[in-house]
Each structure stands twice: as structure tokens, then as C-alpha cells.
Amino acid sequence: MNLRPLGPLVVFGSVLIVGVVVASRREAAEPAAIPAVEPAEPAPPVEPPPPAPEPPPPAPAPPPPVAEETSLVEPVAEFKARITKKPFGIYITPETSPVQPEKFTGYHNAVDVEYEDVAGDVPVRAISEGEVVVSRTASGYGGMMVVRHTINGEKKLVLYGHLDPKSTKPVGATVTRGEQIAILGGHKSAETDGERKHLHFAILAKSTVDLRGYVQNKSELSGWHDPLTFY
Ligand SMILES: [Zn+2]
């Protein structure tokens, strides 16, 4: 048998076989190599976070709740905290009064809001909408006003005492809720009829004007409300 002509084929075939074996070994090796390479790949570039969206324009202020609209405005700042001497209903005599010297005797039908420690103007504000029915000076008050206000849907007369007469509104004027209607009169001046700087604030429970600040019988207090029942 002459193998000579087959020599190149044998060599060629051997090369093929070796090549196939090598290729097979590579193929076998490759799956193991892939996971080893993958972690080394550079991480994809991290995209910067998108810019924060523009804040929305501020929404228009909502209308105040109904309860806010119908509640009363304080007639002066720090209204309740400054009622320190004469609350509603206290019985006063010149001997027992928390204010000395004292010229009054009787049951106090209002609250007194004290401002002796405040040097500047103290604005007095309308507690709700209303109409001025009295505006003048009166003994014991100096400047004073009575305004017919709407309170919880009812008309009530409200007395503001010890006002600077130059600052008050005239009879017939319409006032709006929270509007400045006067400033307090000066301490122990003609503006307050010699009284200390304070607001005498009374809410009448009757429909007729009564300028008294004190009543002599306790039962007469029923003609006035304790103003704090509204605050
Ligand atoms: Zn008073």
C-alpha cells in the first residue's frame, strides 16, 4: 500500500484534528472566562440625576374659613392678657378697687384692658362690621363711641371708652371688621377724663344705649354680656 500520496492528506487531517481540538478547548474554556471578565468591565457612566423640577408657583391664598370670618376681632392687641384689673362683674368701691385712687362704686359691666406700660399709640379696632351710633366725650370716659355691631348675626351695641376724641369716627359712619376706629386716649389726660390709659369695652345685651360703666344692683348686669364669652 502506497501511502505516499496520502501523506499531505494525513498531515492536513492531523492539522484539522488538532485545530478542532484546540477550538474545542477554547470553546470549553470561554464560558468560564466570560464571568471573570464581566465584573472588570467599566461601569456604565452614571447619568447625573435630572435637575429638580421648578417649584410650582405659590397657590393663591385660600379664602379664610367661615368660622374665621364670623369670629370677632380683638378690639385691642393682647386683649385677653391685658384684662388685669377690672374684669366683667367685679364689684368696685374706692376702698377695695384694684385701681387707686378710685372714684367709682358698683358692678363693672365691661372689661378694662390695661395699657399704662405702652407709650405709643394703641389702635382700637372694630370687632365686626357696624355703624357708629354715639361718638362724643362723656363724664368718666373722655372720648367714647358706641357702635352697633353684627355679632353672630345679631345687632349688638358695643361701647368703647377712654378714646382720644380726635381719633374717633363720627356718628353714622360705617365701620368694617378689623378697621381702626380710634386710638386710646393719653394716660390720665383730658382724653380719658383723667383715667389711666386703658380701654373700657362693654357689649350690651339690650337694644337701648346705656353709657353707664357700673351698675348699682347685681341684677342689672344682665343688661350686658361678659365680652370674654365671645372670645
Ligand atoms: Zn371699665
Q: Confidence class of residue 18 from pLDDT cuts 50, 70 and 90?
A: very low
**Confidence (pLDDT) at 164:** 98
What's the CA-to-centroid distance between 111 and ligand 1, angstroms? 6
What's the CA-to-centroid distance between 63 and ligand 1, angstroms? 36
**Confidence (pLDDT) at 63:** 61
What's the CA-to-centroid distance between 108 and ligand 1, angstroms? 6
Tens digits of residue pLDDT in 28-60 = 444 444 454 455 565 666 676 666 767 666 676
What's the CA-to-centroid distance between 82 and ligand 1, angstroms? 13
Rounded to the nearest integer, the mean pLDDT of the chain is 84
Choice between 104 and 8, residue whose per-residue pLDDT is larger? 104
What's the CA-to-centroid distance between 162 and ligand 1, angstroms? 9
| Mean pLDDT to the nearest integer, 14-21 | 46
**Confidence (pLDDT) at 20:** 46
Q: For residue 216, is pLDDT > 80?
A: yes
**Confidence (pLDDT) at 22:** 46
3-state SS track over the chain: CCCHHHHHHHHHHHHHHHHHHHHHHHHHHHHHHHHHHHHHCCCCCCCCCCCCCCCCCCCCCCCCCHHHHHCCCCCCCCCCCCCCCCCCCCEECCCCCCCCCCCCCEEECCEEEECCCCCCCCEEECCCCEEEEEEEEECCCEEEEEEEEEECCEEEEEEEEEECHHHCCCCCCEECCCCEEEEECCCCCHHHCCCCCEEEEEEECCCCCCCCCEECCHHHHHHEECHHHHC
Q: For residue 5, is pLDDT > 60?
A: no
What's the CA-to-centroid distance between 126 and ligand 1, angstroms? 18
What's the CA-to-centroid distance between 230 and ligand 1, angstroms? 18
Choice between 29 and 226, residue whose per-residue pLDDT is larger? 226
| Mean pLDDT to the nearest integer, 161-179 | 98
pTM of the model as a whole: 0.70
Tens digits of residue pLDDT in 108-144 = 999 999 999 999 999 999 999 999 999 999 999 999 9
